[in-house]
């Protein structure tokens, strides 16, 4: 059987464990693959995609290229269009298709793997970029009472809540949607059941978000979309200030990777062995 060519793109990219995950899936499904890590700048992405997909089959997309990846795809899934970002690109005939599996990965990890039911709960999402968009749209499907989007600049948070409102109208979901700057979160809420870090701060050494630590005091789950062998600074801050459970995004990475692998190969791999490495 011919080997399939996959990869992951982003900046930074050295830390990525996507090759490990997808080689595990490929061995499990008895499929021959190659999987590369590619450091790609935004201004080089268009040319990179044209070159890669001459022989390549699928790409995972990470920060900060998810919005641009969607824009540069020839076609896209309804989910990717709705979210406005793509973490999964694949070749279909002669065209490049953009998809988003981040939302599936996050909700499956929180709901099934970690066992947290977010129905009727208060959720805070920190950040309003491509990762936050995928997270927020997925979370809305779990029917929380409130989703508060907080960002350094209020305008970006407002833009995301506006898009979420449009989805709410078409999907029948009824979560309260609130936009906030980091500085004014405390004015809206005193605590949250679940706080999700969707910013890139955890890729920076020892950096903390400019939020009031008391927000963690009644938090059942503090979840960092970033993943690391050691606890991220966000996880440390949450634990030190009263969060009951903290988690990094390893489970999300594994689950979105499994969904992407299915898109690329038609086979949905099992994730339990990789999840045990959390």
For residue 190, pLDDT over 80 is answered with: no
Q: What distance in Å separates the CA atoms of residue 262 and residue 72, rounded to the nearest whole number?
A: 22
Distance, in Å, from the CA atom of 15 to the CA atom of 3, rounded to the nearest integer, reads 25
pLDDT at 1 over 90: no
The DSSP-derived string for 84-108 is T--SEEEEETTEEEEE--HHHHHHH
Cα–Cα distances (Å) from 43 to 69, 73, 90, 91, 266, in that order, read 11, 15, 20, 21, 32
Close Cβ partners of 272 (under 8 Å, ≥ 6 residues apart): none
Q: Are 9 and 62 in contact (CB under 8 A)?
A: yes
pLDDT of amino acid 206: 65
**Cβ(87)–Cβ(256) under 8 Å?**
yes
- Which of 68, 58, 47, 52 shows the shortest CA–CA distance to 19? 58
- The residue among 191, 261, 190 whose CA lies nearest residue 219 is 191
For the chain, the straight-line distance linking the first and the last C-alpha, in angstroms and rounded, comes to 33
Given the residues 5, 66, 91, 173, the one annotated as active site: 66
More reliable by pLDDT, 39 or 174 = 39
66 carries an active-site annotation: yes
Looking at every residue in the chain, the average pLDDT score rounds to 93
Q: Domains in the chain, start-ordered, CATH in brackets?
A: 4-100+253-275 (3.40.50.10860), 103-247 (3.40.50.720)
Strand partners, 197: 126, 224
Q: How far is CA 106 from CA 75, 96, 169, 233, in A?
A: 24, 25, 22, 20
* pTM score of the predicted model: 0.92
pLDDT of residue 201: 79
Where is average pLDDT lowest: 1-15, 48-62, 193-207? 193-207
Nearest to 277 by CA among 227, 236, 233, 232: 227
Q: How far apart are CA 110 and CA 67, in angstroms?
A: 24
């Amino acid at each position: 059987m011919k080997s399939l060519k996959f990869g992951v793109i982003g900046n930074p990219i050295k830390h990525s464990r996507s090759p490990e995950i997808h080689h595990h899936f490929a061995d499990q499904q008895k499929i021959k693959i190659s999987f590369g890590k590619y450091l790609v700048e935004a201004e080089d992405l268009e040319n990179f995609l044209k070159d890669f997909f001459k022989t390549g089959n699928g790409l995972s997309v990470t920060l900060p290229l998810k919005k641009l990846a969607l824009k540069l795809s020839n076609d896209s899934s309804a989910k990717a269009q709705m979210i406005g970002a793509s973490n999964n690109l694949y070749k279909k005939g002669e065209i490049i298709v953009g998809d988003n599996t981040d939302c599936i990965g996050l909700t499956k990890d929180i709901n099934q793997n970690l066992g947290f039911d977010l129905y009727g709960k208060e959720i805070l999402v920190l950040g309003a970029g491509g990762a936050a968009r995928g997270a927020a749209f997925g979370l809305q499907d779990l029917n929380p009472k409130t989703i508060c989007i907080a960002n350094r600049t209020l305008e970006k948070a407002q833009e995301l809540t506006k898009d979420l409102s449009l989805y709410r109208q078409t999907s029948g979901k009824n979560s309260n949607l609130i936009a906030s700057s980091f500085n004014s979160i405390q004015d809206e809420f005193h605590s949250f059941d679940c706080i999700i870090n969707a910013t890139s701060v955890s890729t920076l050494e020892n950096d903390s978000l400019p939020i009031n630590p008391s927000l963690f005091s009644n938090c059942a789950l503090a979840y960092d979309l970033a993943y690391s062998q050691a606890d991220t600074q966000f996880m440390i801050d949450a634990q030190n200030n009263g969060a009951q459970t903290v988690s990094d995004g390893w489970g999300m990475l594994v689950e979105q990777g499994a969904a992407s692998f299915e898109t690329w190969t038609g086979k949905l791999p099992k994730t339990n062995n990789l999840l045990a490495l959390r």
